[in-house]
Structure 1
Amino acid sequence: MELRGILHGLSHQYHSKDQPVDYYLQLGEERLPLNEWLGNELTISYLGQKNCIACGRKTNKTFNSGYCYPCFTKLPENDLCIVKPHECHFDLGTCRDASFGETHCMIPHYVYLAVSSDVKVGLTRKNNQIKRWVDQGAIRAIPIAEVPTRRMAGELEFHLSQFLPDKTNWRKMLKGDVREVDLLHLRDEVYAHFPEEFKAFRYREDEWVEITYPILESLDKINSLTLDKQESISGKLIGVKAQYLIFENGVFQARKHAGYQVQVTLPA
């Protein structure tokens, strides 16, 4: 079986802690279910063309996981404040798109603790937390604060990053090299570091969320596979986690290749 299209990364659906996340490879409008192909040979071949995932124009180079340069410099989802939310400039009237800011930033956000390699602090829009945690490869996570805007979430995250990491070690995450931690106990310790103005926004869940991934076996050594260095990637698919396809011979970061025209070949 062969499928062709513009790669858009991985989408997924979470069910419960007792059932692995369902993963799909996004090729244009097509969704290839990956869980059912675990244990089979899979080939991803680059067809020599890249297209912007926003406007569709042909581009020699993609930016920020799939955008052409004009879309990278103009679209609000590519503004610097997306990766540095504490520097949100919506109130200054300089947002790239005020309607985007209203619907994506000026709405309730969670600040959370997640375990992917070690414990990290992060933020996400309310009701988007499971997607965010799965994309990061977290095996457990819990919200610790609910604040009215993305900027406030960013300010709290930035403050707490003095005491906790805000990045994931992706190699440890993929190897399953994860530190065991009681998130409820840690949350209470982290509350002691909350600035006074954020104490009213503390959020208490009775238990954390557990996430299980479709993985047949783990790799001892993480070798990164990329279509920038080879025309095709092929091997037995043994797992999927975060935005990575895990092959016996290495891992392929799907979102990094968003915008690439590819052909996916599977057994008949």
Structure 2
Amino acid sequence: MELRGILHGLTHEYHGKDKPVDYYLQIGEERMPLNEWLGSELSITFLGEKNCIACGRKTNKTFNSGYCYPCFTKLPENDLCIVKPHECHFDLGTCRDESFGETYCMIPHLVYLAVSSDMKVGLTRKHNQLKRWVDQGAIRAIPIAEVPTRRMAGQLEFHLSQYLPDKTNWRKMLKGDVKEIDLLAMRDEVYSHFPDEFKPFQYREDEWVDITYPILESLDKINSKTLDKEEKLGGRLIGVKAQYLIFDNGVFQTRKHAGYQVEITATPSA
């Protein structure tokens, strides 16, 4: 199998805890099903050109996973408040795009606990949680609050980050070396740290989500591979997790390379 085009990262479909997530590598308008190529040789060749994933223009350098500099500085999805939602400035009238803010930020959000490298706290739009959890490589997650806006979710997450990490250790996440954690007990402990104004928004469902990833083998050492250093890379595909392709000789972060023109070749293993 061979595909050429602009790399857009991984998409996925969740089918329940007893089945591995189905992963697809997005190349232009085509999707390459990755689960069926596990155990096969997969190569990625950089064709020497980068294009903005928003406007399509050629660019020497991409920003924020695939944007040219003008789109990075102008598009609302690249505003600083996206990564620091507690600093949302929609109410100040300085949002880059008011319609984007109304659609993306001024809607219900969930604050959650997830186990990826360790326990962490995070936030996501309501009904987008599965995508978010898989993209982070979480193996288990549970919502702990539902709030009306992204800014409120960011404020609660920022407050709780005093007691819990809000970042994922990607190397530890890929190794899968995670201790067993009682999510419900941890949730009850975290509730004791809720500010009074957020207590009415506590999410009391006792159901959590377990996520299984398509992984044949584990790596003892995590080596990151990048097309900025190697024109061609790859190896035997032994797993997929979060936004990473896991080869027998290292890992490749697909989203980091969004916008790169590539050629993907998959060859069945002998």
Structures share fold, TM-score greater than 0.5: yes
Residue of structure 1 in register with 2:84 after alignment: 84
User: Structure 1 CA distance, aligned partners of 2:101 and 2:153?
Assistant: 14
Gaps of 5+ in 2: none
Residue of structure 1 in register with 2:4 after alignment: 4
Residue of structure 2 in register with 1:192 after alignment: 192
Residue of structure 2 in register with 1:264 after alignment: 264
User: Structure 2 CA distance, aligned partners of 1:230 and 1:122?
Assistant: 34
- Residues 82-231 of structure 1: pairs in structure 2 closer than 5 A: 82-231=82-231
Regions of 4+ moved over 4 Å: none
Matched residue SS, 1:239: strand
Matched residue SS, 1:216: coil
User: Structure 2 CA distance, aligned partners of 1:93 and 1:107?
Assistant: 17
Deviates more, 1:219-228 or 1:202-211: 202-211
Paired residue type of 1:188: D
Matched residue SS, 2:267: coil
Residue of structure 2 in register with 1:41 after alignment: 41
Please state how far the C-alpha of 1:135 moved relative to its aligned partner.
Answer: 0.1
- The alignment of Structure 1 onto Structure 2 pairs a total of residues equal to 268
Deviates more, 1:176-185 or 1:85-94: 176-185
Residue of structure 1 in register with 2:55 after alignment: 55
User: Structure 2 CA distance, aligned partners of 1:179 and 1:116?
Assistant: 10
Matched residue SS, 2:228: coil
Please state how far the C-alpha of 1:52 moved relative to its aligned partner.
Answer: 0.2
How big is each residue's C-alpha offset from its partner over 1:114-173, in whole Å with a ceiling of 9 and x where there is no partner?
Answer: 000100000000000000000000000000000000000000000000000000000000
Residue of structure 2 in register with 1:20 after alignment: 20
User: Structure 1 CA distance, aligned partners of 2:264 and 2:204?
Assistant: 44
Please state how far the C-alpha of 1:2 moved relative to its aligned partner.
Answer: 1.4
Residue of structure 2 in register with 1:235 after alignment: 235
Please state how far the C-alpha of 1:260 moved relative to its aligned partner.
Answer: 0.1
Please state how far the C-alpha of 1:67 moved relative to its aligned partner.
Answer: 0.1
Matched residue SS, 2:197: helix
Paired residue type of 1:187: R
Paired residue type of 1:267: T
Matched residue SS, 1:266: strand
Please state how far the C-alpha of 1:25 moved relative to its aligned partner.
Answer: 0.2
Please state how far the C-alpha of 1:15 moved relative to its aligned partner.
Answer: 0.7
Please state how far the C-alpha of 1:266 moved relative to its aligned partner.
Answer: 1.3
User: Structure 1 CA distance, aligned partners of 2:55 and 2:122?
Assistant: 30
Matched residue SS, 1:163: coil
Q: TM-score, normalised by structure 1?
A: 0.99
Please state how far the C-alpha of 1:205 moved relative to its aligned partner.
Answer: 1.6
> Percent of aligned positions with the same letter in both sequences?
85
Please state how far the C-alpha of 1:206 moved relative to its aligned partner.
Answer: 1.8
Residue of structure 2 in register with 1:64 after alignment: 64
Please state how far the C-alpha of 1:179 moved relative to its aligned partner.
Answer: 1.9
Please state how far the C-alpha of 1:204 moved relative to its aligned partner.
Answer: 1.4
Please state how far the C-alpha of 1:220 moved relative to its aligned partner.
Answer: 0.5
Please state how far the C-alpha of 1:94 moved relative to its aligned partner.
Answer: 0.2
How big is each residue's C-alpha offset from its partner over 1:170-198, in whole Å with a ceiling of 9 and x where there is no partner?
Answer: 00000001121010110001000000000
Please state how far the C-alpha of 1:207 moved relative to its aligned partner.
Answer: 1.9
User: Structure 2 CA distance, aligned partners of 1:204 and 1:178?
Assistant: 25
